[in-house]
């Protein structure tokens, strides 16, 4: 097997998916995709777009403006039609699956240069829009139990995650994200994008919109569950509805050497796992267990971990079950620059975004670490875990 190295990775800031307040309310998802594709190619002038072997693009809802967004977004970006594209979905892990497919094509020798990306605009293409659920599914599941918020409430109950712990985690995530933003830690991964300010004036957006600088814990504790009467999953301890894109440049080590490109990390291993869709948030548990079992590694071999924070309840269940870190925030190696509770979670983008962030966290904050892991859950019980390894 050949080695697949990570040459670069970028993302847009995440904007709120809000018709009046969203900083990217003027943009379509294909335009967000163009921003990361052109940003990536501009930063890597040795790569001619026509030399890219394929683009793999993830999105959770490939309908409407996101129908075959990989192909249509690539062509709409004015990029060469000789490059094949593949739009993929397995819900939130979509951008991660694209990275796995791209890396494997490189490792088997089928490709030398791949762009793996993910994009989602939860305002223009709302979660679940245009779905036509198989009625037979209801023989096996109660439809209401499959809704994301309901699954987060069920995880909180079954894994006994207290409301105060969820709120504390959300506050910590925002604090870490604000600190990372202020220290300029996202500068290497964020491509500034022209959007709109609250008054509708054009503004260069350079950071994520949702990050809350001031958290009022007392107010947070009084917020009502959006999903269940008397429940505990609120707008504050859920990832917000957002829009954004992320892209990674993957290459065979031989090609990178030929082009004189530098790299520090390579694709180590990747697995998908399935779980009960009514507690879909615990997906990283079987995914990471599978990853550790197949690689012979254990959590103690890993440096930083990017665990997508779809909801605080499911993140805490995964952290505790796998003993990834402390029982409660503050954490030492999980999401050290904050997670989706603060940064946002544009579904099909997040699998690619957490790998981009992991590469930057490794380089900046964990330079001695040999391994880092990114993992996330997804709707209907899809999950993924991906190992990044330092090249030797």
Ligand X SMILES: CC(C)(COP(=O)(O)OP(=O)(O)OC[C@H]1O[C@@H](n2cnc3c(N)ncnc32)[C@H](O)[C@@H]1OP(=O)(O)O)[C@@H](O)C(=O)NCCC(=O)NCCS
Which sequence positions are flagged as catalytic? 92, 345, 377
Phi, psi angle pair for 68, to nearest 5°: 40, 50
Q: Looking at beta carbons only, is 167 or 389 nearer to ligand X?
A: 167
239 lies in the site for ligand X, by CB under 6 A: yes
CB of 206 to ligand X, least distance (A): 20
22 lies in the site for ligand X, by CB under 6 A: no
CB of 349 to ligand X, least distance (A): 12
Instruction: Quote the CA–CA distance of 245 and 264 in Å, as a whole number.
Output: 23
386 lies in the site for ligand X, by CB under 6 A: no
CB of 174 to ligand X, least distance (A): 7
Query: Mapping DSSP to helix (H, G, I), strand (E, B) and coil, where does residue 355 land?
Result: helix
Place of tokens 């954004």: 244
Instruction: Quote the CA–CA distance of 235 and 84 in Å, as a whole number.
Output: 40
Tokens (6 digits) for 376: 């996330």
Stretch that binds ligand X, among 76-84, 190-198, 238-246, 353-361 (CB under 6 A): 238-246
Indicate the angle between helix axes 312-322 and 163-182, nearest 10 degrees: 90
CB of 92 to ligand X, least distance (A): 5
With 0-12 CB in 10 A as exposed, 13-18 as middle and 19+ as buried, what is 70? Answer: buried
251 lies in the site for ligand X, by CB under 6 A: no
Number of C-beta neighbours around residue 159 at 10 A: 18
Could you tell me which of 155, 139, 136 has the C-alpha nearest to residue 147?
A: 155
155 lies in the site for ligand X, by CB under 6 A: no
Place of tokens 């544009």: 346
State the Rg of the chain over Cα. Answer: 19
Q: Which residues pair with 249 in a beta bridge?
A: 8, 115
* Residue among 41, 54, 241, 287 that touches ligand X (CB under 6 A): 241
> What are the residues whose beta carbons fall under 8 Å from the beta carbon of 102, sequence distance 6 or more?
4, 54, 56, 111, 114, 115, 116, 248, 250
Sign for the pseudo-dihedral over CA of 45, 49, 53, 56: positive
Binding residues among 319-348 for ligand X as defined by CB under 6 A: 345
Instruction: Quote the CA–CA distance of 98 and 88 in Å, as a whole number.
Output: 7
Stretch that binds ligand X, among 25-33, 138-146, 181-189, 233-241 (CB under 6 A): 233-241
CB of 339 to ligand X, least distance (A): 12
* Residue among 113, 156, 191, 310 that touches ligand X (CB under 6 A): 310
Q: Are 331 and 171 in contact (CB under 8 A)?
A: no
245 lies in the site for ligand X, by CB under 6 A: no
Instruction: Quote the CA–CA distance of 222 and 232 in Å, as a whole number.
Output: 10
Instruction: Quote the CA–CA distance of 379 and 381 in Å, as a whole number.
Output: 6
Letters for 42-81 (x = contact with ligand X by CB under 6 A, - = none) are ----------------------------------------
Letters for 347-366 (x = contact with ligand X by CB under 6 A, - = none) are --------------------
Stretch that binds ligand X, among 185-193, 197-205, 235-243, 329-337 (CB under 6 A): 235-243
Torsion angle (degrees, nearest 10) of CA 278, 384, 318, 127: -50
169 lies in the site for ligand X, by CB under 6 A: no
148 lies in the site for ligand X, by CB under 6 A: yes
With 0-12 CB in 10 A as exposed, 13-18 as middle and 19+ as buried, what is 108? Answer: exposed
Q: Looking at beta carbons only, is 49 or 95 nearer to ligand X?
A: 95
CB of 314 to ligand X, least distance (A): 8
205 lies in the site for ligand X, by CB under 6 A: no
236 lies in the site for ligand X, by CB under 6 A: yes
CB of 223 to ligand X, least distance (A): 7
Q: Looking at beta carbons only, is 247 or 310 nearer to ligand X?
A: 310
* Residue among 215, 319, 342, 388 that touches ligand X (CB under 6 A): 215
Q: Looking at beta carbons only, is 350 or 357 nearer to ligand X?
A: 350
Q: Are 371 and 297 in contact (CB under 8 A)?
A: yes
Which residue's C-beta sits nearest to ligand X? Answer: 148
Stretch that binds ligand X, among 101-109, 212-220, 318-326, 352-360 (CB under 6 A): 212-220
Size of the site for ligand X (CB under 6 A): 18
- The residue ranges that bind ligand X (CB under 6 A) are 92, 148-149, 212, 215-216, 219-220, 226, 235-236, 238-241, 310, 345, 379
């Amino acid at each position: 097997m050949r080695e697949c190295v990570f040459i670069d990775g970028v993302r847009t800031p995440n904007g709120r998916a809000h018709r009046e307040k969203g900083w990217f309310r003027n943009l379509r998802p294909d335009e967000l995709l163009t921003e990361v594709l052109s940003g990536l190619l501009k930063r890597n002038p040795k790569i001619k777009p026509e030399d890219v072997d394929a683009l793999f693009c993830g999105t959770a809802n490939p309908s409407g403006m996101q129908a075959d967004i990989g192909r249509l977004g690539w062509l709409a970006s004015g990029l060469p039609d000789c490059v094949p594209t593949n739009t993929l979905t397995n819900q939130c892990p979509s951008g991660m699956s694209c990275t796995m497919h791209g890396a494997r094509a490189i490792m088997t020798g089928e490709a030398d240069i791949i762009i793996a990306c993910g994009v989602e605009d939860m305002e223009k293409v709302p979660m679940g829009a245009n779905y036509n659920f198989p009625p037979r599914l209801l023989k096996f599941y109660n439809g209401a139990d499959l809704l994301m918020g309901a699954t987060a409430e069920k995880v909180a109950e079954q894994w006994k995650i207290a409301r105060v712990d969820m709120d504390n985690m959300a506050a910590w995530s925002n604090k870490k994200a604000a600190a990372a933003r202020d220290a300029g830690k996202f500068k290497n991964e964020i491509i500034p994008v022209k959007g709109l300010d609250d008054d509708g004036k054009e503004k260069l957006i350079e950071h994520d919109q949702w990050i809350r600088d001031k958290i009022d814990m007392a107010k947070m504790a009084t917020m009502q569950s959006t999903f269940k009467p008397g429940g505990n999953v609120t707008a504050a301890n859920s990832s917000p509805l957002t829009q954004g894109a992320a892209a990674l440049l993957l290459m065979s080590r031989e090609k990178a050497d030929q082009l004189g490109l530098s790299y520090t990390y390579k694709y180590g291993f990747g697995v998908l796992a399935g779980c009960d869709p009514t507690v879909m948030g615990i997906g990283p548990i079987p995914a990471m267990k599978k990853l550790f079992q197949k690689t012979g590694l254990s959590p103690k071999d890993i440096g930083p971990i990017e665990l997508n924070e779809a909801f605080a309840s499911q993140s805490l269940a995964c952290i505790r079950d796998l003993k990834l870190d402390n029982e409660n925030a503050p954490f030492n190696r999980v999401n050290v620059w904050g997670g989706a509770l603060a940064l946002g979670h544009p579904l099909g983008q997040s699998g690619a975004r957490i790998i981009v962030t992991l590469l930057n966290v490794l380089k900046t904050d964990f330079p001695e670490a040999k391994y880092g892991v990114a993992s996330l859950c997804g709707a209907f019980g899809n999950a993924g875990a991906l190992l990044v390894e330092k090249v030797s």
